[in-house]
Amino acid sequence: MENYKWDLSKIFKTEEEINTAVKFIDEEMKRLEELKENPKSNLLSILDLRSSVSRTMDKLYVYSHMKRDEDANISSNQKLAMEMESLMNSIGSQFSFIEPLILGIEDKELNKLIDSQEYSIYKTYIKRVIRKKPHTLSEKEEFILSSASEMGDSAQNTFYMLSYGDMKFPVLEKTEEKIELTHANYTNMLTNPNRNIRQEAFEKMYSTYDKYKNTFASTLMGAIKNLVIQSKLKNFESARTLPLFEDDVDLSVYDSLISAVHDKLTTMYEYLEVKKKGLKLEELHMYDVYVPLIEGVDRKIPYEEAKSLIIEALKPLGEDYVKIIEKAFNESWIDVYPREGKKSGAYSWGCYDSNPYILMNYTDDLNSLFTLAHELGHSVHSYLSRKNNPYINSRYTIFVAEVASTLNELLLMDYMLKTSKDENEKLYLLNYHLEQFRTTVFRQTMFAEFEREIHKRVENKEALTAKEFSDIYYELNKKYFGENMKIDEQIALEWARIPHFYSNFYVYKYATGFSAATVLSTKILKSEKGTLEDYMEFLSDGGNNFPIDQLQKAGADMSDENTVKSALDVFAKEVEDIKKLIN
């Protein structure tokens, strides 16, 4: 079994090495105090010091948390993770003076620094700090705003405590063993083949939320007002502009996503008709949409077979890409199987000085296969970003983070559909992929449209209560699901359940990332000239360029709504394919 565990000793072999790294950080932070006595003259040294400290801190933080995830039952693993969290927070606050320091330097002098050879490694970083200048207040004002940020976060904290702490849901009477409905089991209830169970879970979930709807309206209104106030104070033209600014995303990208999805909603309606027919229902309700058209295909895929399938499926990405995948399999990047004390789920993680490790809980089924391909996409992206860039420019943004992982899944999907000889398996795979489109592109775009509308109304001085939130949300469901589906009135309260609405204007990135991956995978499978080279450059760019520019160079222009439409053409084709399988 040791062959199926990751090897974290490649990061730190002994406790002595960990202590040496911590001691290095302590000594460097003492040196920082000396440099801060004349910070402007010592700016380059300060930036170098922060880079070396942050790099070492990342290594300690990642190692400690992966050791905890490896086995949380070992108390020393828990202790080390908590200690590293504390150290990281302390270091972050001690370096917080750097951006205000840079912004305090005159433009003429800053331009000289950017053009100088000695600052070349920090050129991108300094340029991005300068971008913030029109939106940066005086030192005193920034301190006040920063100090008040905890109050601004109270709406989100209240949402979490009410949702996941205080709320209690009723017992489900129609399950074999009467069990209490929870957030954790709700999704499973909605995929249950027994329609009575689905309906009961749906109605009891929202009858509970109905009791707290005014409180949830208050917390959401508070979160919106917080962003609106911040955007005004920081000289942004609208609340939406502030969160998009960090990635240099124009509002047109957001709006064109919504516009493109609107133009293709008829394909969603067709899919729902297919679903109604496949499930043999006279009327499709909101509690029916998550039910698969076919129960999970009972195909066992041992890990060794999964490795072979993934390598074959990813061959269109070229020899260099496949060699990295083989490194992951052969050099102990992956912790494969579930065991006592190990963290559930899956992720790809690591730091600049480590392998891009993968935590899996592989269970020999199709879902595990696709999850493994997904996480390998993240790991290859991280591997190439770190290999081809200095530490400070090695991190890619959340905006592009799901592109490589999704593209891997899409290539695997294409390979499985082409090679599968089992009609049920093909139906399962198509349904799986169409559901990804429905939940990642259509659903997240509906969320994005909801966010755009509610923020716009608050900026126009309109007070929103639970009624207004519910009315807006219900009308959007009617638009996105169509007239041929029963839009149950309880769905109007779903907005109250969604934590993402407290992470302002974030959800649209799921839809753009999935759309970009779909367009790029289609081009790669068609062997379009230059596409593979451009894609590999995208994976290697790290944080050198803004995400829209990165994707545009790769061949997916997210500022053009035709890109999203092209992705949804794939959805439309697969709807036609699945029609043939259920006729």
- Which range among 128-137, 222-231, 277-286, 359-368 shows the weakest confidence by mean pLDDT? 128-137
Mean per-residue pLDDT, 491-513: 95
Residues 6+ apart with CB under 8 A from 526: none
Report domain extents, the chain: 2-151, 153-297+422-583, 301-396
Of 466, 491, 481, whose CA–CA distance to 207 is shortest? 491
Per the rule left: phi > 0, alpha: psi between -120 and 50, beta: everything else, 345 is left
Which long-range contacts (C-beta less than 8 Å, at least 24 apart) are formed by 129-134?
A: 129/99, 129/102, 129/103, 130/102, 130/103, 131/245, 131/248, 132/99, 132/103, 133/103, 134/235
**2-151: which CATH topology?**
Butyryl-CoA Dehydrogenase, subunit A; domain 3 (1.20.140)
Residues 6+ apart with CB under 8 A from 140: none
Residues 6+ apart with CB under 8 A from 214: 465, 466
Query: How many whole angstroms separate alpha carbon 236 and alpha carbon 2?
Result: 54
Q: Of all residues in the chain, what percent carry a pLDDT higher than 70? A: 99
Q: What is the pLDDT of residue 484?
A: 87
Per the rule left: phi > 0, alpha: psi between -120 and 50, beta: everything else, 235 is left
Query: How many whole angstroms separate alpha carbon 384 and alpha carbon 393?
Result: 12
Q: What is the pLDDT of residue 503?
A: 87
- The tokens of 95 are what? 């370096």
| Residue 294 or 121, more confident | 121
Q: What is the pLDDT of residue 463?
A: 93
Query: How many whole angstroms separate alpha carbon 532 and alpha carbon 525?
Result: 10
* Confidence label for 165 from pLDDT (cuts 50, 70 and 90): confident
346 neighbors 359 (Cβ within 8 angstroms): yes
Q: What is the pLDDT of residue 184?
A: 86
Per the rule left: phi > 0, alpha: psi between -120 and 50, beta: everything else, 74 is beta
Residue 220 has pLDDT above 80, yes or no: yes
Highest mean pLDDT pick, 1-5, 112-116, 291-295: 112-116
Q: What is the pLDDT of residue 427?
A: 92
Q: What is the pLDDT of residue 136?
A: 84
Pick the catalytic residue: 200, 375, 451, 561? 375
Tokens 């499973």 label which residue?
188
* Confidence label for 1 from pLDDT (cuts 50, 70 and 90): low
Residue 583 has pLDDT above 80, yes or no: no
Q: What is the pLDDT of residue 451?
A: 98
Query: How many whole angstroms separate alpha carbon 210 and alpha carbon 287?
Result: 17
* Confidence label for 141 from pLDDT (cuts 50, 70 and 90): confident
Q: What is the pLDDT of residue 150?
A: 67
Residues 6+ apart with CB under 8 A from 281: 288
The string of DSSP letters for 285-336 reads BGGGTTS-SSPPP-----HHHHHHHHHHHTGGG-HHHHHHHHHHHHTT-EE-
CA distances to 83, 337, 498 from 57, rounded to whole Å, are: 12, 29, 33
Can 270 be counted among the known catalytic residues? Answer: no
Mean per-residue pLDDT, 126-152: 82
Of 541, 534, 532, 535, whose CA–CA distance to 384 is shortest? 541
Q: What is the pLDDT of residue 404?
A: 97
Q: What is the pLDDT of residue 98?
A: 92
CA angle 227, 229, 233 (to 5 degrees): 115
* Confidence label for 177 from pLDDT (cuts 50, 70 and 90): confident
- Number of residues written out for the chain: 583
CA distances to 2, 12, 194, 329, 360 from 336, rounded to whole Å, are: 10, 21, 33, 10, 5
* Confidence label for 57 from pLDDT (cuts 50, 70 and 90): very high
Class of domain 153-297+422-583: mainly alpha
The H or E element spanning position 92 is helix 75-94
Pairing of strands 347-349, 179-180: unpaired
CA distances to 282, 284, 288, 582 from 279, rounded to whole Å, are: 9, 9, 9, 10
pTM of the model: 0.92
Residues 6+ apart with CB under 8 A from 432: 292, 366, 370, 413
- pLDDT tens-digit map of 292-307: 998 767 789 999 999 9
Q: What is the pLDDT of residue 411?
A: 98
Map residue 172 onto helix, strand or coil.
Answer: strand
336 neighbors 364 (Cβ within 8 angstroms): no
The 10 Å Cβ neighbour count of residue 429 is: 23
Q: Of all residues in the chain, what percent carry a pLDDT higher than 90? A: 85
